[in-house]
Structure 1
């Protein structure tokens, strides 16, 4: 028992002694590290200068090395990971450039395939002034000679400050651009572009419109059909040398050309309409004029012309007054051209027929506190004579026999008071007040075209109901597909519009307001219009003269509408001012479209009417 106890004590003593030895060793090491050691010279011949090293220097140096290491590591991470894409892009900018390849814009064609707008490939000459600073005066002179520019102007472009891109010249032909390329000037480049050209210039300007410098539509069909005309641009990635010259291609995406647009316009009729209108505006000293020719069967607009106009090839002519498309944007009181609609509605309702007589004497009619009148005291007139002589009193008395809402519904169905659905920018809605606000005097004046405002395009659309079988159809500036069905909204009965056309033919006979208008070989149903203009809320002596005609009257093919704004010289009435334009345009349209002549209408009272009734 004693031996075991002694063995345990001996083990304890050994463990204690070993622990003490380890502690003494560690204590010695710690003390040695903490104390500044004095260096001992290796020999007496080369004694070492002994300098004590403080502890804080070691820690500071260690901390500085650690911070520097982590700073370098962080910077490397920032450059290699976080900013990698940015730095690569910045590097590529020094030698690579993406060039845009413009997609060719589609052509605009007339109904026969004649080009009305097309794109011509051109080149723009540009420079990077930071790369072209070293170009010699002799090279500048050569570049100026090739481009036909002043050397001082070219020198200023090449030495421009604070920019990396300047345009020296635009719309250069390919041959000129190739001559510039052969000069091999540093920092001078060539950019492919397109120039939009309009062969018919001012004749079709208000239909076709024009594009901006970015080759996007700004007016007319160019704007209305911009999405279809515009192609999708391509791109070309290239590598340049230090002098800005292209030395290699990286990749290329081909451009997609735009789609061609075929219009309903016939350029031959368009030219005839424009020339006839321009001559009449000059002859009468008028402020402006407009003409529209529409196909009765399809609603296609064959011609649309305005005067004054502009040349889309010459930007200096693009003034506001010249650029207004008066056919669509200008509102005017239509005057007597509105009379057939109220009379047709009354016939439709069975209130009257062409032989019904109405007293218009003594040439004046007072409604409440307002008085309206005719140019003459016509006395007792039949409905057919009211149309032929354009009697305001006769028309007003007929209109007052119907409810205001009935007339308003009819005018609305014809398209008045709402923009025509023609797919063209800027079309006006005109002005047609709600029926519930009409007083009797307003109901009367609207029936003969006062107190209501329309555009010439709205008037043509409304007349499709008379030229067809009583159904009104939308007009279009785009050529319809062969066999495309055209459906309209029924407004009048077919027999009613045939009677109205017959009565409108009497307007063209002796004693009618359009008796001086003849289209050789063809019957004509027409209506003249003369309305005083409203300025500052009051009627003035200035007038708008208009004429709307249907040819041939027996088997209608075209509606021709003419408006002359403020004629100053000679007559100011629709028959004598707008009528001559109608005659020239109608003859040209019938001839170019090869419409067979019909027999001359009878000038006597009712031969054609009788033929229709039978």
Structure 2
């Protein structure tokens, strides 16, 4: 029948044969094309099912102090992960794995059951290579390892607020780790490997892209001074029953921050029981009314105006001044009826400072404080740094003029305050602050007359060395300049001040003959012996400044004159000597 139909319709038979021949030819050509001509197509699809790229972690850059001492280093660690689908097929090995990981077996089994449909889950991160290899040697199906890096901080809590820390993925989260994250972070590489359908490694093919390590960062911090500041500040809090404290040291010539300590602090290597309040870099984040520590800045404005000289006299009797509803009072009642400008600073007279402020005007004081950096960004680029508040008025009322002159009604950070004193110490030249090591002295801006700055240096030296001066701030062998301050703490959430809550401060520089170091000490809420800055903060300033000057090999400028040796009469031997004339 078929042969008959083929004979009846020969053209149909031939058409079917031709179509079949074309199909066979097309298939044959495609086979030849894929295997001979366009073989990359099959290779690409094969690779897509077996070739994988494993990331090669990049080594994060080293952070050191100015002398090369390591402050943050990256150490290799092993992270263990699991394919939940594979691990679910070996429940008999779960107990062994839980024991090796140090986890409770029942809770660990529940976790694996919940992740049984997932192809990736972290088991544990940050193991030492030895610990990780010991677990991998158990050969538990579905358990794999990754090479990573973990940050370690050799100085621990001493530099915690400056350095900050990284998260579990080695990204900067606080401090200099965050501020310079792009600089420190490296570029991960890629390794090409062959894996089977179960994800098991068959062959390590090649390194497709080398990892690029992050750049090193040398800070301006001197670890020796940092340890000294940390120790003395911690001891001061214990001795005075204080709540918190900050201490900042800078080089007045280069603007480098040599030390920045805060209490309370924390250990960045172990943050399991971390108190968030301890993480604050108070020297840059906490703002406060600076009290009498700004009187030298207001006095500088008076000298800069040309209307006042150091020998000018101001009547301060009876130690109070009425301005409308407000009464300005002096703490000291034995300072006398009249004081010259240096005497106003020595006795910290609010009345005398206010009368000078009324004469030169609040705008002059505001301008001087602004030029010295108060209410301005320091340019350090530290995460979360605050600029404080420097009030300005179109018309300055007497009350606001007076309070600004003796340190109320404005807010500053410890870093801003020490920068202002550094300008006084640097003969009126303001240099930009930096947290990284400076290889040269930067260009500065003359924001105050050099003569005024030098005059203030001498006046502040008298504040320390005069009979009624802050003798607790003196440093043996050196002339020191500075000013203490005490300010009530403003209430949080309400107007006014908190009862019996004070900040004790001291700001100064040394040596007075050629200033090199400026320092600010802030003690928050001392509660034992007293709360005045000259009593609480000045001794801390003295001890830290003395140690810093010695560590930096700065020549003393206040050594006592050498004593001439007493002449000794020559002795002669005679027959009546104790040895009986025998030799």
TM-score with structure 1 setting the length: 0.80
Alpha-carbon distance in structure 1 between the residues aligned to 2:479 and 2:298 = 24
* Counterpart contact for 1:294–1:303, Cα < 8 Å: yes
Match of 1:303, SS?
A: strand
Alpha-carbon distance in structure 2 between the residues aligned to 1:340 and 1:112 = 34
| Residue 523 of structure 1 pairs with residue 479 of structure 2 | yes
Alpha-carbon distance in structure 1 between the residues aligned to 2:310 and 2:344 = 9
Alpha-carbon distance in structure 1 between the residues aligned to 2:41 and 2:118 = 22
Q: Kindly tell me: are residues 512 and 89 of structure 1, through their superposed partners in 2, closer, same or farther at Cα, counting changes over 3 Å?
A: farther
Alpha-carbon distance in structure 1 between the residues aligned to 2:42 and 2:144 = 26
Query: How far apart are residue 203 of structure 1 and its match?
Result: 0.7
Q: Kindly tell me: are residues 456 and 213 of structure 1, through their superposed partners in 2, closer, same or farther at Cα, counting changes over 3 Å?
A: same
* Counterpart contact for 1:310–1:317, Cα < 8 Å: no
| Residue 246 of structure 1 pairs with residue 204 of structure 2 | no
Q: Kindly tell me: are residues 300 and 317 of structure 1, through their superposed partners in 2, closer, same or farther at Cα, counting changes over 3 Å?
A: farther
Match of 2:371, SS?
A: helix
Q: Which one is further off, 432-441 or 242-251? A: 242-251
| Residue 585 of structure 1 pairs with residue 541 of structure 2 | no
Q: Kindly tell me: are residues 505 and 185 of structure 1, through their superposed partners in 2, closer, same or farther at Cα, counting changes over 3 Å?
A: same
* Counterpart contact for 2:464–2:473, Cα < 8 Å: yes
* Counterpart contact for 2:266–2:279, Cα < 8 Å: yes
Structure-1 residue corresponding to 2:290: 334
| Residue 187 of structure 1 pairs with residue 142 of structure 2 | yes
Query: How far apart are residue 178 of structure 1 and its match?
Result: 2.8
| Residue 475 of structure 1 pairs with residue 426 of structure 2 | no
Query: How far apart are residue 318 of structure 1 and its match?
Result: 3.2
Query: How far apart are residue 601 of structure 1 and its match?
Result: 9.6
Query: How far apart are residue 317 of structure 1 and its match?
Result: 4.1
Query: How far apart are residue 171 of structure 1 and its match?
Result: 1.2
Alpha-carbon distance in structure 2 between the residues aligned to 1:391 and 1:369 = 20
Query: How far apart are residue 103 of structure 1 and its match?
Result: 0.8
Query: How far apart are residue 507 of structure 1 and its match?
Result: 1.6
| Residue 461 of structure 1 pairs with residue 416 of structure 2 | no
In the TM superposition, what whole-angstrom CA distance separates every residue of 1:380-409 from its partner, at most 9, and x where no partner exists? 011111111111111111111113332222
Structure-1 residue corresponding to 2:498: 540
Match of 2:137, SS?
A: helix
In the TM superposition, what whole-angstrom CA distance separates every residue of 1:306-345 from its partner, at most 9, and x where no partner exists? 0011111112243321111110111100011000111112
Q: Kindly tell me: are residues 86 and 488 of structure 1, through their superposed partners in 2, closer, same or farther at Cα, counting changes over 3 Å?
A: farther
| Residue 386 of structure 1 pairs with residue 341 of structure 2 | no
* Counterpart contact for 1:186–1:245, Cα < 8 Å: no
Alpha-carbon distance in structure 1 between the residues aligned to 2:174 and 2:396 = 37
In the TM superposition, what whole-angstrom CA distance separates every residue of 1:422-448 from its partner, at most 9, and x where no partner exists? 121111111111231531211111011
Match of 1:576, SS?
A: helix
Q: Kindly tell me: are residues 369 and 140 of structure 1, through their superposed partners in 2, closer, same or farther at Cα, counting changes over 3 Å?
A: closer
Q: Could you tell me which of 280, 304, 312 is aligned with 1:348?
A: 304
Q: Kindly tell me: are residues 600 and 363 of structure 1, through their superposed partners in 2, closer, same or farther at Cα, counting changes over 3 Å?
A: farther
Query: How far apart are residue 86 of structure 1 and its match?
Result: 13
Structure-1 residue corresponding to 2:570: none
Q: CA RMSD in A?
A: 3.0
Highest Rg: 1 or 2?
Answer: 1
* Counterpart contact for 2:486–2:532, Cα < 8 Å: yes
Structure-1 residue corresponding to 2:527: 568
* Counterpart contact for 1:311–1:317, Cα < 8 Å: no
In the TM superposition, what whole-angstrom CA distance separates every residue of 1:430-485 from its partner, at most 9, and x where no partner exists? 1111231531211111011011111110001111221011112221111001xx23
Match of 2:168, SS?
A: coil
Q: Could you tell me which of 590, 594, 603 is aligned with 2:553?
A: 594
In the TM superposition, what whole-angstrom CA distance separates every residue of 1:243-302 from its partner, at most 9, and x where no partner exists? 532112355311100001000101111011011111111222212100001111111111
Alpha-carbon distance in structure 1 between the residues aligned to 2:410 and 2:486 = 14
| Residue 500 of structure 1 pairs with residue 456 of structure 2 | yes
Q: Kindly tell me: are residues 155 and 370 of structure 1, through their superposed partners in 2, closer, same or farther at Cα, counting changes over 3 Å?
A: closer
Structure-2 residue corresponding to 1:417: 375
* Residue correspondences, number: 529
1:213-292, aligned counterparts within 5 Å?
A: 213-252=168-207, 253-292=209-248
Alpha-carbon distance in structure 1 between the residues aligned to 2:273 and 2:89 = 41
Alpha-carbon distance in structure 2 between the residues aligned to 1:392 and 1:591 = 36
Q: Kindly tell me: are residues 365 and 446 of structure 1, through their superposed partners in 2, closer, same or farther at Cα, counting changes over 3 Å?
A: same
Query: How far apart are residue 188 of structure 1 and its match?
Result: 1.5
Alpha-carbon distance in structure 1 between the residues aligned to 2:82 and 2:316 = 79
Query: How far apart are residue 183 of structure 1 and its match?
Result: 3.5
1:67-86, aligned counterparts within 5 Å?
A: none
**Where in structure 1 are there 5+ consecutive unaligned residues?**
1-38, 43-61, 63-68, 603-614
TM-score with structure 2 setting the length: 0.85
Q: Which one is further off, 174-183 or 300-309? A: 174-183
Q: Kindly tell me: are residues 279 and 485 of structure 1, through their superposed partners in 2, closer, same or farther at Cα, counting changes over 3 Å?
A: closer
Q: Kindly tell me: are residues 573 and 247 of structure 1, through their superposed partners in 2, closer, same or farther at Cα, counting changes over 3 Å?
A: same
Query: How far apart are residue 372 of structure 1 and its match?
Result: 0.5
In the TM superposition, what whole-angstrom CA distance separates every residue of 1:81-119 from its partner, at most 9, and x where no partner exists? xxxx99999976754433221110001100111110010
Match of 1:560, SS?
A: strand
